[in-house]
């Protein structure tokens, strides 16, 4: 059974603080993703990674950075938290693409971290 865990369920930080959100998966998945979810906007991709030390920007990378030093761990960093980064942050992982052109495996999500920046 795939398990994706996130370091905190709820987090409250102050404007300007550096924030670390940790995500760990135990199924040896190559791909890992960070999303934020806001009402009316759905899930938006911040960053993703297909391998250790590899990262790609998603749709909204500004104000965020990531780190993937080990295959099972993908960290999201808010360099200087701002109030507009108050959101639900979801981490996901998935195996490599299936065989066959255009075939993808599904993503497995962690429980989410609800971050409030005051």
Partner 1 sequence: RKEVEQDPGPFNVPEGATVAFNCTYSNSASQSFFWYRQDCRKEPKLLMSVYSSGNEDGRFTAQLNRASQYISLLIRDSKLSDSATYLCVVPTGNQFYFGTGTSLTVIP
Cβ atoms of residues 60 and 86 within 8 Å: no
Q: How far is the CB of 60 from partner 1 (least distance, A)?
A: 12
Q: How far is the CB of 6 from partner 1 (least distance, A)?
A: 9
79 or 114, CB closer to partner 1? 114
- Residue 84 — φ and ψ, nearest 5°? -75, 0
Judged by the rule CB under 8 A, the positions of this chain that interact with partner 1 are: 33, 35, 40-43, 45, 48, 50, 56, 58-59, 90, 98, 100-104, 106-112, 114
Which is nearest to 93 in space by CA: 115, 114, 73, 64?
73
Is the torsion defined by CA of 99, 27, 38, 15 positive or negative?
negative
16 or 111, CB closer to partner 1? 111
Q: How far is the CB of 89 from partner 1 (least distance, A)?
A: 11
18 or 48, CB closer to partner 1? 48
Cβ atoms of residues 104 and 12 within 8 Å: no
Q: How far is the CB of 70 from partner 1 (least distance, A)?
A: 21
36 or 85, CB closer to partner 1? 36
Cβ atoms of residues 18 and 4 within 8 Å: no
Which residues make beta-bridge pairs with 23?
Answer: 6, 74
């Amino acid at each position: 059974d795939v398990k994706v865990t996130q370091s905190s369920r709820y987090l409250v930080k102050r404007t300007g603080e550096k924030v670390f959100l940790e995500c760990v998966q135990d199924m040896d998945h190559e791909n890992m993703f960070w999303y934020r979810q806001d009402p009316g906007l759905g899930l938006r991709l911040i960053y993703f990674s297909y391998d250790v030390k590899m990262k790609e920007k998603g749709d909204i990378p500004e104000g965020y950075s990531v780190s993937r030093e080990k295959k099972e761990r993908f960290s999201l960093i808010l360099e200087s938290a701002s109030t507009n980064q108050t959101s639900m942050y979801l981490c996901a992982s998935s195996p490599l693409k299936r065989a066959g052109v255009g075939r993808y495996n599904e993503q497995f999500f962690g429980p989410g971290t609800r971050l409030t920046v005051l």
